[in-house]
């Protein structure tokens, strides 16, 4: 009764999206020292920009008159376009992706303004948290911007036209393709952050995190590097929002609350502070917790009709917070410790050391 | 024509009283242990649920409910401090880690309440307390809960004002300015901090139980008030006593009178009410991060602590 293939695909997709978010938070906080408690703002902004742009673009590109994107008729219209018109769908997908990344970068630039301005840095956490809440409230209650409480629905998978082309005629194919694309983007983000953090930029980032005063006395522009890291991190979060909206099919403010920001923090702390591999591992574990509690609650609901399935989802949050508390108290460095920066000189050094070790072993 | 004004002023004063009772505790926490405690609002929820449970067994027994919610939220505050915050503070974790830990504590308490309430079937409930109009001023009915809230808010403010002249209040102030020195001069810092947590948690719990007859009690009751309480405290400059009183008055009036005004004359829907405290926080933090309170000494101490943890 449990759809195994669907479960695996959803697991992979959620893992990819959470991994991108965790990598971006790790870049901002783990390496850059900017406590971004408003990660959901950038993520949600990417998602809403994607949803609004896609639903308008699909109608514009097929030369139909523009109507309110919230009505059921326009929703049905969009879904028929997505299944029948590959070129328009893919074009809208690409344009909305690029736009959401750009919007994320601009937002990151704006968010770095208070980061430079407030010196007590938990104020920055507070400002970003509040900004994320403002975003949620505006999009939840403003029916003109984001269709209000129900969110913008009807964003189909950009590969749903594959269904009619393939002989199996099943919705598994587009989901499979889209999950693969999410994983590809996750890999790209991983490579990007790995390259960035192992470069002189990464070393400067770490030095600013550890002692911004010292690095500014050495002539480094602390404000510039903080702005840069916020821009890169938030555009990555917006990218994740873009991928997520096309995966889930609806942009609803329920997904972008501060509770979600908190679970990204749990992933980061669990995996390891300032360690990209650790971030991916942490995202994997929390995705597993997330998906298995979901499947557990549906199973329990099926077998015990009297059982309240909400209790399982509540206990997911309970477990998350308990896990974080235990980690902070007993293992603040997470699963993987912060590694060294792999500069070319260090690579050569470790290679030589390895050779020497081998020589010693042979002799 | 100005009938709405009187009604909204009455509501504003009530909400200011609630804000005052709740946020004084947060001010104390910020002053003594220098911790922006995001779990503070959960004590409101705990207080409201304690009132709910007590009045189920003893309907209309408000004094007993108040004492119970004071004690239970105070005790939970102490337990939270001993289990979660104390080890972290002892290890001199950075301030962000403490903020994150307080987030985790908040979520833990909130979802514990969620699970217990959904087992007990109390996810949204009303306590069995009679709200009776006692006094009429210019056509506005003032209920018994209303008057009691004002009385308690003023009493707690006066109590805390004079509390700083007592021995334990003095030791709290000593800890607030320099904990190591206070400990060296023989002050029992452990006891003073525990008393501080009882007061902080307990006052928030009492605030929650006074709020409970007027709202639907849900496990997210406190969480929805969290940023408003922070707005009050940030406006007051984090640790200033007078600033907190000022901030709670401003928050109360802004959320009721100003919102009514905007709704009537500019037809701004009431769902946008939370935007007022949010914009207040952002504006105060960006323009005048020291707040509009009077004492700056402790915010300086907070800054010093940050510098200390950063340089490590």
User: Mutate which of B80, B108, B272 to disrupt the A interface (most A C-beta within 10 Å)?
Assistant: B108
Chain B environment of A141 (Cβ under 8 Å): 269, 271-272
In this prediction the pTM is: 0.89
- Percent of chain A exceeding pLDDT 90 equals 38
- Percent of chain B exceeding pLDDT 90 equals 39
pLDDT value of position A77: 82
Nearest to B115 among A123, A133, A314 (CB): A314
**Contact (CB<8Å) B103/A265:** yes
The predicted-structure confidence for A153-199, as pLDDT tens digits, reads as follows 888 888 888 877 777 777 788 889 999 999 999 999 999 999 999 88
Helix (H, G, I), strand (E, B) or coil at A196: helix
Chain A environment of B99 (Cβ under 8 Å): 35, 37, 122, 125
User: Mutate which of B42, B86, B93, B103 to disrupt the A interface (most A C-beta within 10 Å)?
Assistant: B103
Residue listed under structure tokens 């607030």: B176
pLDDT of residue A213 exceeding 70, the answer is yes
Nearest to A329 among B84, B95, B230 (CB): B84
**Contact (CB<8Å) B99/A314:** no
pLDDT value of position B201: 94
Q: How far is A27 from chain B (nearest CA, A)?
A: 16
Chain A environment of B88 (Cβ under 8 Å): 328-329
Nearest to B99 among A125, A131, A308 (CB): A125
Q: Taking the CA of residue B270 as centre, how many other CA atoms within 13 Å lie in the half-sphere pointing to its CB?
A: 5
The predicted-structure confidence for B189-235, as pLDDT tens digits, reads as follows 899 999 999 999 999 999 999 999 888 999 999 998 999 999 999 88
**Contact (CB<8Å) A332/B118:** no
Give the pair of three-digit tokens for residue B118. 């959904």
CA distance to A196, B48, B111, B127, B194, per residue, from B219 (Å)? 43, 9, 8, 14, 26
pLDDT of residue B30 exceeding 60, the answer is yes
The predicted-structure confidence for B223-276, as pLDDT tens digits, reads as follows 989 999 999 998 888 878 888 888 999 999 999 888 888 888 888 888 888 899
Let me know the angle formed at the C-alpha of A64 by A61 and A65, rounded to the nearest 5 degrees: 120
The DSSP secondary-structure symbol of A274 reads T
- pLDDT tier for residue A363 given thresholds of 50, 70 and 90: very low
Pick from A214, A254, A193, A263: nearest CA to A27: A193
**Contact (CB<8Å) B104/A321:** yes
| Mean pLDDT computed over every residue of chain B | 86
pLDDT value of position B298: 54
Give the pair of three-digit tokens for residue A73. 């008729």
Chain B environment of A311 (Cβ under 8 Å): 115, 118-119
The predicted-structure confidence for A5-33, as pLDDT tens digits, reads as follows 888 999 999 999 999 999 999 999 989 88
> Searching chain B, which residue's CA lies closest to the CA of residue A37?
B100
Total of domains in chain B: 1
- Give the helix/strand (H/E) hosting A85: none
Q: How many other CB atoms sit within 10 Å of the CB of residue A31?
A: 26
pLDDT of residue B291 exceeding 80, the answer is no
Enter the ipTM.
0.88
Q: Which domain holds residue B21?
A: 3-310
Nearest to A134 among B105, B271, B278 (CB): B278
CATH number for B238: 1.10.3470
- pLDDT tier for residue B312 given thresholds of 50, 70 and 90: very low
pLDDT of residue A356 exceeding 80, the answer is no
| Top-confidence range, A128-132, A309-313, B59-63 | A128-132
- The mean pLDDT of B163-171, rounded to a whole number, is 85
Nearest to B281 among A130, A310, A320 (CB): A130
pLDDT value of position B86: 92
**Contact (CB<8Å) B101/A324:** yes
The predicted-structure confidence for A281-314, as pLDDT tens digits, reads as follows 999 999 999 998 888 888 888 887 777 778 888 8
Give the pair of three-digit tokens for residue B238. 């984090």
pLDDT value of position B197: 94
The predicted-structure confidence for A219-278, as pLDDT tens digits, reads as follows 888 888 889 999 999 999 999 999 999 999 888 888 899 999 999 999 999 988 888 999
Chain B environment of A118 (Cβ under 8 Å): 285-286, 289
Give the pair of three-digit tokens for residue B216. 């639907």
pLDDT value of position A350: 82
The predicted-structure confidence for B102-152, as pLDDT tens digits, reads as follows 999 999 999 999 999 988 888 888 888 888 887 787 777 788 888 888 999
Nearest to A130 among B115, B282, B299 (CB): B282
Chain A environment of B107 (Cβ under 8 Å): 259, 262, 317-318, 320-321
């Amino acid at each position: 009764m449990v759809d195994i293939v669907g479960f695996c695909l959803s697991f992979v997709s959620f893992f990819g999206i959470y991994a991108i978010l965790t990598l971006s938070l790790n870049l901002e906080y783990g390496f850059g020292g900017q406590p971004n408690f408003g990660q959901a703002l950038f993520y949600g902004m990417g998602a809403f920009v994607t949803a609004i742009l896609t639903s308008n673009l699909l109608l514009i590109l097929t030369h139909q008159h523009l109507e309110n994107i919230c009505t059921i008729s326009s929703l049905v219209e969009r879904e028929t376009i997505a299944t029948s018109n590959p070129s328009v769908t893919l074009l809208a997908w690409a344009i909305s992706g690029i736009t959401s990344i750009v919007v994320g970068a601009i937002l990151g630039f704006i968010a770095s303004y208070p980061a430079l301005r407030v010196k007590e840095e938990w104020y920055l956490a507070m400002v970003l948290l509040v900004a994320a809440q403002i975003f949620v409230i505006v999009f939840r209650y403003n029916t003109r911007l984001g269709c209000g409480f129900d969110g913008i629905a009807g964003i189909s998978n950009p590969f749903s036209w594959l269904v009619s082309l393939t002989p199996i005629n099943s919705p598994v194919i587009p989901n499979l393709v889209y999950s693969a694309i999410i994983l590809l983007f996750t890999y790209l983000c991983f490579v990007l952050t790995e390259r960035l953090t192992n470069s002189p930029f990464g070393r400067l980032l770490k030095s600013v995190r550890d002692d911004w005063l010292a690095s500014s006395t050495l002539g480094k522009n602390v404000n510039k590097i903080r702005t840069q890291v916020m821009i890169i991190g938030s555009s990555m979060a917006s990218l994740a929002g873009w991928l997520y909206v096309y995966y889930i099919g609806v942009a609803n403010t329920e997904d972008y609350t501060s509770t979600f920001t908190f679970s990204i923090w749990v992933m980061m702390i669990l995996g390891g502070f300032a360690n990209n591999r650790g971030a991916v591992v942490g995202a994997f574990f929390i995705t597993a917790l997330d998906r298995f509690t979901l499947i557990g609650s549906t199973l329990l609901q099926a077998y015990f009709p009297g059982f309240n399935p909400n209790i399982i989802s509540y206990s997911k949050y309970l477990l998350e917070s308990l896990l974080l508390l235990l980690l902070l108290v007993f293992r603040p460095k997470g699963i993987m410790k912060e590694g060294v920066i792999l500069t070319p000189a260090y690579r050569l050094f470790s290679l030589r050391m390895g050779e020497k070790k081998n020589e010693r072993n042979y002799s | 024509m100005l009938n709405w004004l009187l009604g909204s002023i009455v509501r504003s004063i009530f909400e200011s009283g609630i804000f005052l009772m709740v946020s004084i505790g947060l001010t104390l926490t910020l002053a003594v242990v220098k911790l922006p405690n995001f779990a503070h609002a959960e004590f409101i929820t705990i207080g409201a649920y304690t009132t709910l449970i007590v009045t189920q067994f003893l309907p209309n027994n408000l004094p007993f409910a108040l004492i119970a919610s004071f004690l239970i939220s105070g005790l939970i505050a102490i337990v939270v401090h001993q289990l979660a915050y104390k080890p972290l503070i002892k290890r001199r974790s950075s301030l962000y880690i403490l903020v994150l830990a307080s987030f985790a504590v908040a979520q833990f308490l909130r979802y514990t309440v969620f699970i217990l309430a959904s087992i007990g079937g109390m996810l949204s409930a009303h306590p069995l307390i009679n709200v009776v109009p006692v006094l009429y001023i210019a056509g506005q009915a003032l209920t018994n809960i209303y008057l009691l809230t004002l009385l308690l808010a003023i009493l707690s403010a006066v109590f805390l004002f004079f509390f700083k002249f007592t021995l334990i209040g003095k030791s709290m102030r000593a800890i607030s300015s320099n904990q190591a020195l206070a400990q060296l001069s023989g002050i029992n810092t452990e006891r003073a901090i525990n008393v501080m947590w009882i007061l902080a948690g307990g006052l928030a719990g009492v605030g929650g139980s006074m709020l409970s007859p007027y709202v639907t009690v849900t496990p997210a009751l406190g969480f929805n008030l969290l940023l408003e309480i922070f707005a009050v405290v940030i406006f007051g400059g984090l640790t200033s006593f007078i600033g907190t009183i000022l901030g709670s008055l401003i928050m109360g009036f802004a959320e009721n009178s100003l919102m009514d005004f905007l709704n009537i004359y500019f037809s701004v829907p009431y769902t946008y009410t939370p935007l007022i405290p949010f914009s207040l926080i952002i504006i105060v933090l960006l323009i005048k991060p020291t707040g509009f309170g009077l004492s700056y000494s402790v915010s300086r101490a907070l800054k010093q602590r940050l510098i200390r943890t950063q340089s490590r």
